[in-house]
Structure 1
Amino acid sequence: MTPLSDSVVAMFAAHLAESPAKTVDLDDRTNPRQPIRRQADLVFTTSRGTPIKRGSWSDIWRPAADEAGLTQGTGLHVCRHTYASALIRYGESVKTCST
């Protein structure tokens, strides 16, 4: 079983063909006592090619959610749980989905 449908994979492929991943330098604060600077390839960025930050996320999410017909208040948390529930329904282990 693949966790992404063929249509989603096709959409990602089309997105990457039109807008290739952008390599950016990020501050990695996984360990706050020893932050490091590292490179990351981002699939989604702002229109200027910079990382999407928490403060600007709603400016991106809300128009996309409206276009998709999602009800007001549907955020990434709901999407994450919906996706995890679908994975579990179709046989993925709860442990795998919880990571």
Structure 2
Amino acid sequence: ALPGELLPFKKGAFHLALQTAAPIVPVAIKNTDSMMGKKTGAAYAGTIEMVLLPPIETKNLTENDLPGLLKSVRGKIAKELSMESEKWKTENL
């Protein structure tokens, strides 16, 4: 994945949040691209930035709301990461 690119989300945590009415706290993790070896799985020392985004309440949602909830959480994280992705593209021209 490129910096700032999100891989597909697993739905299990979203189902659990809906079943227990627990809020979802989106987390964007930045700067990991420079710490992971490309296709090797090797990890290197470095500093990451974790951004905790505002919680999303689920207490009035049902399983029918799952697709919209997933899209909302993904959108919030993607928006936060897009700044890092644009920075990476500019620095690596």
TM range (shorter): under 0.3
TM-score of the pair, normalised by structure 1: 0.24
Larger Rg belongs to: 1
Say which structure is richer in strand. Answer: 1
Query: RCO (CA 8 Å, sep 6+): is it higher in 1 or 2?
Result: 2
TM-score of the pair, normalised by structure 2: 0.25
